[in-house]
Structure 1
């Protein structure tokens, strides 16, 4: 089990993290999300032992992560960290970058494992290409295969698909996270992309203003976000007074509603004036205005600017979202 206890950290007196505590079980996949600059990458570096902390402790089972002041080579051997700069060997081939880190002495087994990893990252055709001749996205895939070759007990991923085009990104996500589950590898992923989170993470931690503001199972957090900030990390969302969507409600409490949860009607509901309509492929994202509040909602049809429509929300959504 990974244990982070009461960790605080600052860069040159500028606080980044304050009193951070959580645990991650063996084989669990934890996603760390939050706005840019909230400390996601810093937290991974602390867990790996790249940054020294004066306050707090990090343990993997009974072993304490000591940090750079106590290690000639920062980082822990049972843990691997895929950073946003890939740290590859540019003048050697893709195959060599991967196979060099395999703890296998039998040549046939080494070749089998190398091919397995190259297939996972869909780079078999580039096995003999020097890394310096690859694109940024291809290099990121090689870096991913290289950390997997080392068979870590814990894998730390910092924006692991940020350079990879959408054509390959979705398939690579499915292959990678299925592989980690099969191998029982504990995984921490820092990301700004909810597509890295919703289908794959067992649990989510949300960082804001130096603190953890949410730590919940992924589906539960998505379905019942406690703030607009949390909901917005999963997609377009709104915070509105409940009494403007249900006129009979005698409360001024507010409700979080995702754009896709509004149902458009031509006859009754919350009156909204359309301002802009953005094509999204399978639907339109509509920016509207109601009682001087901007509201975002989805529509299956294009809506003209200044058109009046009505929005409805299910009673189930209202009951579980009151904040």
Structure 2
């Protein structure tokens, strides 16, 4: 189990009041998938680096099982054998092949096992056909997949992923997510993912941890946070959000009907593929709702609020 105990961190140790993260506390079980979300600059990447031991804490402690995670004051080499960290910048060797990068830290005493392990991991990240390709010729997304495979090569107990699919083309992301997260679950590898993309979370994460103003403002399952968002910030992760009489209303909860007390004037239509997002004005408040077709601008519409 990972245990983050009351940690505080500032990039300037003399200015604790300007901490990036303040008094964070949470646990992650073996094999659990925790997604860390928040606005840009909320400290998602910093938290992963602290867990990896890249920085020294100002206050608090971090433990993986019985091992305390310590920073560079205590370790000449950052990191631990049981933990891997895949950053947004890839530390790959450009002039050797994909399979050589993935197998770099695997033992050469068992060549057949090494070969099979590399083959298995290239299948997980969907790069089998690039095994013999030099890394310098790959795209950014392909390099990101090589970095993922290399991090998994020695099967860590815990893996930290910082925006793991950010460089990968949209049409490849979905199948790659399913493949990688399925593998992690099957091997019971604890996974922490820092992301701004809800597709990295929904359907995969056991829990979501939301950072805001240096603090944890939510820590629960995606379903629970979707059903009961405490703030518009949390709700906005799941889609377009309206505030109506101090209530959080998702765009899909507003239904176009023939008659109701909730009237609005159509301002704009946004094509979203399977539906249009309609922007309308109600008593000087902007509302957004989903509808199968575009609606005439300046027309009056009636809306009904549906339950979640």
Shorter-chain TM-score: which interval?
over 0.9
Counterpart of 1:279 in structure 2 is: 271
Runs of 4+ in 1 over 3 A off after TM superposition: none
2:300 matched to 1:308?
Answer: yes
* Alpha-carbon contact 1:103-1:150 (below 8 Å) kept: no
* Residues 271/104 of structure 1: CA separation in 2 closer, same or farther (3 Å cut): farther
Per the normalisation by structure 1, the TM-score is: 0.92
Aligned position for 2:281: 289
State how far apart, in whole Å, the 2-side matches of 1:62 and 1:305 are: 63
**1:311 & 1:92 partners in 2: Cα distance?**
60
SS at match of 2:40: coil
Q: Deviation digits for residues 144-182 of structure 1, max 9, x if unmatched?
A: 111011211000000000000011100000011111000
User: Following the alignment from structure 2 to structure 1, what is the Cα–Cα distance between the partners of residues 140 and 204?
Assistant: 24
CA RMSD of aligned residues (A): 1.2
Per-residue deviation, 1:44: 0.3
C-alpha separation in 1, matches of 2:185 and 2:112 = 25
Uncovered stretches (5+) of structure 2, i.e. residues with no partner: none
Structure-1 separation of matches of 2:151 and 2:257: 52
Q: What residue in structure 1 maps to residue 103 of structure 2?
A: 99
Q: Distance in 2 between matches of 1:179 and 1:157?
A: 14
- Whether 2:195 is the aligned partner of 1:191: answer yes
For residue 147 of structure 2, the aligned residue among 143, 163, 167 is 143
Matched position secondary structure for 1:85: coil
Q: How does 1:73-222 map to 2 (within 5 A)?
A: 73-103=77-107, 105-222=109-226
Give the aligned partner of residue 245 of structure 1. none
CA shift digits 1:258-296 (9 cap, x unpaired): 111211113224111111111010111111110001111
* DSSP-derived class of the 2:10 partner: strand
Partners of 2:261 and 2:116 in 1: CA distance: 61
- Taking a change above 3 Å as real, the CA distance of residues 218 and 103 of structure 1, as seen in their structure-2 partners, is farther
In structure 2, do the counterparts of structure 1 residues 105 and 297 end up closer, same or farther at CA, with 3 Å as the change threshold? farther
Kept in 1: contact 2:124–2:183 (CA 8 A): no
Per the alignment, residue 31 of structure 2 pairs with 27
Q: 1:177 is paired with a residue of what secondary structure? A: helix
Aligned partner of 1:236 among 219, 237, 240:
240
1:57 maps to 61
Hey, what's the Cα distance between the residues in 2 that align with 1:287 and 1:159?
A: 31
SS at match of 1:268: coil
Spell out, residue by residue over 1:80-134, the C-alpha distance to the aligned partner (whole angstroms, 9 max, x if none): 0000001111111101000123357322221111111111211111111111111
Unaligned stretches of 5+ in structure 1?
Answer: 242-253, 318-323
- Residue number in structure 1 paired with 2:230: 226
CA deviations on 1:181-200 (whole Å, 9 max, x unpaired) are 00000000000001111110
- Alpha carbons 2:10, 2:58 under 8 Å: kept: no
Residue of structure 1 equivalent to 2:260:
268
- What's the TM-score once normalised by structure 2's chain length? 0.96
